[in-house]
């Protein structure tokens, strides 16, 4: 017996405090014009002290479970993609497990920065495909505002906070040998990549050797920007190839939301119709591992993404890591 992972429902949480570009601290010497032109960002949600990664993840998960009509005691695993855990250890997913009152199964975090959601999706999919679990809460949650240097205009204006969660459930796979028939709903493919030679391009300058230092994000944005479209392009090509698809077959392209110019580069490279691309970077800024599920959630809730449609997602981030997946919603 083979299984496929299907999306039962999706939910999200965004902090109440929404900060417009014009409301950023004056001493940053930035401007609405610079931020919009270089990134497409107009605003970002910033977490209050009680809105920790676990808190936001839990709220998003509750919404997804409610929408799926699935009780917490039916969930076998929580997989949380985050770069901003509540503590160095244990996994923030275990705190979410406790907050949800889940007394069974297992919970762990996945750390692949902005690619974290696609990495976690691939892990969840493999657990489900092998029949090891039936129901997974898959969450992307970040409180990036807590790890940026609020004196560094080159990074702090780019990021935002939030969380989104998917409930994935196992369905029988009609086709043979574990390969999902392309018309069946579910996760059709995942492709993960990393290149550790890019480790120093995006990191947090805090290590276990400097425990008293409060770390902050360091980013060599221009270098990352240069390789982004090419690396994302590779992952998109693999995703299409693996499913014998071409761009016109794709109903929705949901990219990681780091920079509108990177998204535009991918749109141009693949000649993607812009009306098929879900863009939320203007409203959410870069929410790292939460960006794709937040964008998916928005497009599902406003009725754009419909059951049975083909959705292609891609991400790139620290590591460097990059990834893609195709989901028949």
Binding test (CB under 6 A) with ligand UT7, winner from 162, 186, 317, 319: 317
Point out the catalytic residue in the list 21, 45, 114, 156: 114
Point out the catalytic residue in the list 45, 256, 259, 297: 256
Structure tokens at 64: 């997804």
Whose Cβ is closer to ligand UT7: residue 57's or residue 201's? 201
Binding test (CB under 6 A) with ligand UT7, winner from 96, 157, 163, 254: 157
Contact 148, 72 (CB under 8 A): no
Q: Could you write out the three-class secondary structure of 273-318?
A: CHHHECCCHHHHCECHHHHHHHHHHHHHHCCCCCCCCEEEEEEEEC
> How far apart are alpha carbons 183 and 162 in whole angstroms?
33
Provide the 10 A C-beta neighbour count for residue 18: 14
Whose Cβ is closer to ligand UT7: residue 186's or residue 255's? 255
Whose Cβ is closer to ligand UT7: residue 10's or residue 158's? 158
- Quick one: angle between helices 260-270 and 32-39, nearest 10? 30
Q: Residue 87 contacts by C-beta under 8 Å, 6 or more apart in sequence?
A: none
* Residue 43 in the binding site for ligand UT7 (CB under 6 A): no
Binding test (CB under 6 A) with ligand UT7, winner from 44, 45, 95, 153: 153
114 a catalytic residue: yes
Q: How far is the CB of 27 from ligand UT7 (least distance, A)?
A: 12
Binding test (CB under 6 A) with ligand UT7, winner from 222, 244, 271, 303: 222
Q: How far is the CB of 289 from ligand UT7 (least distance, A)?
A: 10
Q: Residue 303 contacts by C-beta under 8 Å, 6 or more apart in sequence?
A: none
Q: How far is the CB of 239 from ligand UT7 (least distance, A)?
A: 19
* Residue 199 in the binding site for ligand UT7 (CB under 6 A): no
* Residue 254 in the binding site for ligand UT7 (CB under 6 A): no
| DSSP H helical ranges for 112-255 | 116-129, 153-156, 221-242
Binding test (CB under 6 A) with ligand UT7, winner from 19, 30, 233, 304: 30
* Residue 225 in the binding site for ligand UT7 (CB under 6 A): yes
Contact 311, 326 (CB under 8 A): yes
Return the residue nearest ligand UT7 (CB atom).
221
Binding test (CB under 6 A) with ligand UT7, winner from 286, 287, 321, 324: 286
Provide the 10 A C-beta neighbour count for residue 99: 15
> How far apart are alpha carbons 244 and 188 in whole angstroms?
11
> How far apart are alpha carbons 259 and 281 in whole angstroms?
7
According to CB under 6 A, which residues from 112 to 131 bind ligand UT7?
114
Whose Cβ is closer to ligand UT7: residue 125's or residue 142's? 142
Structure tokens at 61: 């998960």
Q: How far is the CB of 28 from ligand UT7 (least distance, A)?
A: 7
Nearest alpha-carbon partner for 15 in 40, 44, 47, 38: 47
286 a catalytic residue: yes
* Range in contact with ligand UT7 (rule: CB under 6 A) among 30-38, 94-102, 173-181, 297-305: 30-38
List of residues contacting ligand UT7 (CB under 6 A): 30, 34-35, 38-39, 114, 153-154, 157-158, 202, 221-222, 224-225, 228, 258-259, 262, 286, 317
Q: What is the set of active-site residues?
A: 114, 256, 286
């Amino acid at each position: 017996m083979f299984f496929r992972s299907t999306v039962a429902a999706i939910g999200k949480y965004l902090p109440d405090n929404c900060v417009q570009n014009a409301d950023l601290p004056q001493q940053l010497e930035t401007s609405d014009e610079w931020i919009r032109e270089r990134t497409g960002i107009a605003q970002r949600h910033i977490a209050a002290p009680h809105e920790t990664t676990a808190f936001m993840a839990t709220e998003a998960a509750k919404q997804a479970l409610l929408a799926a009509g699935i009780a917490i005691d039916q969930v076998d695993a929580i997989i949380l993609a985050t770069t901003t855990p509540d503590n160095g250890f244990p996994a923030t997913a275990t705190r979410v497990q406790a907050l949800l009152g889940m007394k069974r199964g297992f919970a762990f975090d996945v750390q692949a920065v902005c690619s974290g959601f696609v990495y976690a999706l691939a892990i969840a999919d493999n657990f489900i495909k092998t029949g090891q679990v039936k129901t997974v809460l898959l969450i992307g949650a970040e409180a990036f505002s807590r790890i940026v240097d609020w004196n560094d205009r080159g990074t702090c204006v780019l990021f935002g906070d939030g969380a989104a969660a998917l409930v994935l459930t196992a369905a029988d796979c009609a086709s043979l040998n574990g390969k999902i028939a392309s018309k069946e709903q579910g996760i059709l493919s995942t492709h993960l990549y990393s290149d550790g030679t890019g480790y120093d391009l995006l990191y947090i300058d805090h290590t276990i050797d400097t425990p008293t230092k409060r770390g902050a994000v360091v980013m060599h944005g221009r270098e990352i920007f240069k390789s982004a479209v090419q690396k994302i392009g590779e992952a998109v090509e693999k995703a299409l190839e693996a499913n014998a698809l071409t761009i016109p077959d794709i109903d929705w392209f949901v990219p990681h939301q780091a920079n509108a110019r990177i998204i535009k580069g991918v749109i141009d490279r693949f000649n993607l119709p812009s009306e098929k691309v879900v863009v939320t970077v203007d409203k959410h800024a870069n929410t790292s591992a939460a960006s794709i599920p937040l964008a998916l959630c928005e497009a599902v809730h406003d009725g754009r993404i419909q059951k049975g449609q083909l959705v292609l997602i891609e991400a790139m981030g620290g590591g460097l890591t990059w990834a893609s997946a195709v989901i028949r919603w």
